[in-house]
Amino acid sequence: MGILQEDAVVISPAGNGSDSTVVTVNCPDKTGLGCDLCRIILQFNLSICRGDLTTDGKWCYILFWLVGRPTTRWSLLKKRLLDACPSYFLTTEIEYYRPVIKQPRPPDVFLLKFWCSYDRKGLLHDVTEVLCELELTIKRVKVSTTPDGRVMDLFFVTDPRELLHTKMRQEETINRLRSVLGDTMVSCEIELAGQEVTACSQGSPFLPSAITEETSSLELLDGNQSSSHFSNPVFVSMDNTLSPAHTIVQIECQDHKGLIYDIMRTLKDLNIQISYGRFWANSRGNCEVEFFTMHADGSKIVDLTEQNDLSACLKRELRSPLKVAVGSRGPETELLVANPVELSGRGRPLVFYDITFALESLNAPIFSVEIGRHMICNREWEVYRILLDERDSSCVPRKKIEEGVRNRLMGWDRG
């Protein structure tokens, strides 16, 4: 083939007056590869400002122009992207465009428990940042504060690298936490969570009120709660006349964090294949996308009902990829964020990190956190229920909390 596996991903640093780093992926194709790559890029907190994708169903060539940060670990990004690429040695064994996605074995859940001698501003976000840097996935969090001011935090996490059972990986995690928490950390333990604990880690099966997708927002039926309504126009058009083999899908919308990932996961879950695509964001914050698509069996999308369904689905997902609302749980203020789960079982990365970042920026302390998965309107969602600590007198207005969290999740803040 003339291409080594390590050359399947090439990262060219920004330079020559450009602030974009170019990532080239040249490898065998597989179902959902574009979605998997975009998810990894989003997990590294990077923005795709431009992209180009070509595949013949067996081999693909992808270019991403990424806007990074000074702390971006490019070598680790390359390794993770390589892990997602099929090896060309296995091309004869790959089943392209499979309509059925094999469900992977559920990962082991570990309980990370630590005590701190006292609480402080940003403690939860600092811990979350460390766990994200270690590539650990947070499944649930329980925060407890004793009457004497000490803090006990329980994190239920999984390790995509499948190493957290080893002494070396556990020591790395504990040492990284100790370096951030300093003398405030009294103790820290990591253990494999039993089945009964894992079941509890899914959170309460009861939501405070119904969550629907009727208006592409998270709607709370309690009259005392505010629902999130905002306008994010999305235009979708389809054409079957310009290509003899493909349906061309064109999208114009406001750019947001993870936009290409949201498009890719939507098409992947609908089993729509992309043969060619390009996308770019302009200086005004708008994004234009063009894809040459087809069904898994290679046919065009000609049925008007199917076209309308696809268009409606894309508009819904891009207008409001995450649902955010602030309401009441008794006398306390509760923040709710709903994150769609892919059919593969994976949720959007860095959601809890962005939530804690926004709340710390707003000086809105967290009292408790519940993370659970719920079937809402025949679809699985990862729901974050965060009870805010309002014991001090500096309460942040609910509308400001809602806007601040949404802007951070959508990448519309300046941080």
**DSSP secondary structure string for all residues of 288-304:** EEEEEEEETTS-----H
Whole-number Cα distances in Å, 363 to 120, 145, 368, 381, 391: 11, 18, 15, 28, 13
Is the CB of residue 306 less than 8 Å from the CB of residue 249? no
Q: Are 169 and 157 in contact (CB under 8 A)?
A: no
- CA distances in angstroms from 343 to 99, 205, 324, 331, listed in the order given: 12, 20, 22, 37
**The pTM is what?**
0.85
**Residue 206, number of CB atoms within 10 A of its CB:** 7
- pLDDT of res. 413: 83
pLDDT at 395: 78
Residue 219: enclosing H or E segment and its boundaries?
none
pLDDT computed for residue 96 by the predictor? 45
pLDDT of residue 222: 36
Kindly give the confidence (pLDDT) of every residue in the chain, 415 residues in length, as a single tens digit, with 9 standing for 90 and above.
444 566 899 999 877 656 789 999 999 998 889 999 999 999 999 999 999 999 998 899 999 999 888 889 999 999 999 999 987 655 444 444 444 445 567 789 999 998 998 877 788 899 999 999 999 998 888 887 777 778 888 999 999 899 999 999 999 999 999 999 988 899 999 999 876 555 544 545 555 453 444 333 444 333 344 444 455 789 999 999 999 999 999 999 999 999 999 999 999 999 999 999 999 988 788 999 999 999 988 999 999 999 999 999 999 999 989 999 998 888 889 999 999 999 888 889 999 999 999 999 999 988 888 888 888 877 889 999 998 877 654 678 999 999 999 999 999 986 5
Contacts (Cβ under 8 Å, ≥6 apart) of 1: 88
Distances in Å between the alpha carbon of 80 and those of 37, 40, 342, 349?
9, 7, 19, 14
